[in-house]
Amino acid sequence: MNISQAADASGLSAKMIRHYEKIGLLQGIHRSASGYRLYSGEDLHRLRFIHQARRLGFSLEQIRELLSLWGDHRRSSREVKALAMQHLEDLDTRIQELQAMRQMISTLADTCHGDDRPDCPILDNLAASSTDKNTS
């Protein structure tokens, strides 16, 4: 199986697959006589694992660990769960940051009439917060 077929079958791009190999997420990929990468069913399984983990927002470093745990039959589910919980916390943090922004923008946009007049609470706020101290 060529790289573009593996890409289609895994949902990744050929570019990503080469990248994952370069950073060590994939190893021992076979090559044809002319140097083409050849993917086995097992390789494909691994690629799909990576794709799904990326869809859940895990970083490539985290995926490296997940793959290692996946391949280790003596691992404890505790380790995997800890990794997932850490990622959950990261997600929560990012969600809350974005929601705080969303809330503020939304409030400002509500008070801006958004017509031909030039006065605008949004710009006023950006400029006014300038004189606050709690601009973190």
47 is a site residue for DNA (CB under 7 A): no
Gyration radius of the chain's alpha carbons: 23
CB of 79 to a copy of itself, least distance (A): 9
103 is a site residue for DNA (CB under 7 A): no
32 is a site residue for DNA (CB under 7 A): yes
27 is a site residue for DNA (CB under 7 A): no
CB of 99 to a copy of itself, least distance (A): 6
99 is a site residue for a copy of itself (CB under 8 A): yes
Instruction: Give the N- to C-terminal CA distance of the chain in Å, as an integer.
Output: 53
DSSP state of 30: E
| CA 62 – CA 67 distance, rounded (Å) | 9
Backbone angles phi, psi at 126, to 5 degrees: -60, -40
CB of 132 to DNA, least distance (A): 18
